[in-house]
Amino acid sequence: MAETMKATLFIEPGRIALDDKPIPEVGANDALVRITTTTICGTDVHILKGEYPVEKGLTIGHEPVGVIEKLGANVHGYEEGERVIAGAICPSGHSFACLDGLHAQDGQSSPHGLKPMGGWRFGNTIDGTQAEYVLVPDAMANLARVPDGLTDEQVLMCPDIMSTGFAGAENAGIKIGDTVAVFAEGPIGLCATAGAKLKGATTIIGVDTVAERLDIAKRMGADHVIDFNKVDPVDEILRITDGRGVDVAIEALGLQQTFESCLRVLKPGGTLSSLGVYSGDLTLPLGAFNAGLGDNKIITSLCPGGKERMRRLMNVIESGRVDLEPLVTHRFKLDDIIEAYDLFSHQSDGVLKVAITP
């Protein structure tokens, strides 16, 4: 085995680079995974732009599909050579937060203060997946075998956007017969649309401006689609629901406009399920928030991780209930990842998600 590998490093705001880096040492509870496919997330673009700070020289990326190269001394139940994925969020399993069911907020109960998102480590607090190898921490909690017969691209969305999008539907408590609106239909929104259908929503309304995305939204389960450049989505949703409003509105963009539109289409007693990563303060308008008297809920969800979550999501794929391959629109070699970032960050050529293969 070589001693160095190629990895995509954060250099400074506005600049990443593919460079050599030592292949990491494998600690007792770790596993070294050779990446066979990974992808780029909107969060990575925030990092590239310097909007979300990480250490210089960190390997970025958090969506691994690969093969176990080496197991730590304490890691049992796996074999080298097995195909695996791990979630973008790597819970330890043993923190106070994990044991309280808050896997993505692992670490929150530390005496070091109110630090959120403690479970997100790849490409945030430790080296990530846009490289030839990645070290998976707390491997026994995080490595999930890929069932035979599933391709890398079929499971590539499991680590992050499928888990995130589905969480938006799950945490909203969708019931059979619910009406759900999804703002907007990017990769996360498309997964939220599929998740809403899986939880029993029977009237799903997708909102976006890109015709191709609205088309895929229909394939994911949307019963109605709205191009909000052509009609006012709030008016249109009230029209579709006979003025009743929606049981659940899912925010999947991260802007005041979509957040507020979600509130405005919500029935009294309805739930706003927020998946967006916001970059500024949000306003809750008095009327849209019913002055606090509407029995409304606002729920935020960070991507659930851990091997059990991955197992379930791959089971969804294997069952044929949901097919996320249409989301992979472009493919690049790891050597060309700068080009892939360029395409993805400008949303050129109708890109939804890219597959990166070392």
User: Shortest Cβ distance from residue 40 to its own copies (Å)?
Assistant: 18
Of residues 112 and 229, the one with the C-beta less far from its own copies: 112
Residue 98 C-beta: closest distance to its own copies, Å: 6
Least distance in angstroms from the C-beta of 115 to its own copies: 7
Interacting residue with its own copies among 123, 128, 195, 206 (CB under 8 A): 195
d(CA 218, CA 220): 5
Structure tokens at 87: 């979630």
| 308 interacts with its own copies by CB under 8 A | yes
215 within 8 A of 193, measured Cβ to Cβ: no
Q: Give the number of residues in contact with its own copies, rule: CB under 8 A.
A: 95
DSSP 3-state of 354: strand
The answer to whether 224 and 203 have CB atoms below 8 angstroms apart is yes
CB 136 within 8 A of CB 90: yes
Residue range at the interface with its own copies (CB under 8 A); choices 14-22, 97-105, 184-192, 324-332: 97-105
Give the shortest CB-309-to-its own copies separation in angstroms.
7
> What's the min distance (Å) between Cβ of 9 and its own copies?
24
Among 55, 111, 148, 149, binds its own copies (CB under 8 A): 111
Contact with its own copies (CB under 8 A): which of 279, 338, 342, 350? 279
Taking the complex as a whole, how short is the minimal distance between the CB of residue 343 and its own copies, in angstroms?
25
Please name the helix (run of DSSP H) or strand (run of DSSP E) that holds residue 338, with its range, or none. helix 337-345
Letters for 67-96 (x = contact with its own copies by CB under 8 A, - = none) are ------xx----------------xxxx-x
Distance (Å, rounded) from C-alpha 208 to C-alpha 245?
A: 18
Residue with tokens 């998740």: 195
- Asked if residue 53 binds its own copies (CB under 8 A), the reply is no
309 near its own copies, judged by CB under 8 A: yes
Q: Which of 108, 129, 130, 154 binds its own copies (CB under 8 A)?
A: 108
Separation between Cα atoms, residue 130 and residue 118, nearest integer Å: 20
Query: SS3 of 140, please?
Result: helix
Taking every pair of C-alpha atoms in the chain, what is the biggest distance, in angstroms? 64
Q: Which span (57-65, 148-156, 284-292, 336-344) binds its own copies, by CB under 8 A?
A: 284-292
Among the candidate windows 10-18, 126-134, 295-303, 334-342, which touches its own copies by CB under 8 A? 295-303
Residue 125 near its own copies by CB under 8 A: no
Window 238 to 277, contacts with its own copies (CB under 8 A): 238, 242-245, 254, 266-269, 274-277
Q: Which of 113, 148, 149, 229 binds its own copies (CB under 8 A)?
A: 113
Q: Where are the alpha helices (DSSP H) in 156-252?
A: 163-170, 187-198, 211-220, 233-240
Stated as kind and residue range, the H or E segment containing 327 is none
- DSSP per residue over 68-84, as a string? EEEE-TT--S--TT-EE
By CB under 8 A, is residue 193 in contact with its own copies? no
Check if the beta carbon of residue 28 is closer than 8 Å to that of residue 73.
Answer: yes
Binding mask 336-355 for its own copies (x = CB under 8 A): --------------------
> What are the b/e assignments for 326-347, b being 16+ CB within 10 Å?
ebbbbebebeebeebbebbbee
* Contact call for residue 150 and its own copies (CB under 8 A): no
d(CA 313, CA 160): 11
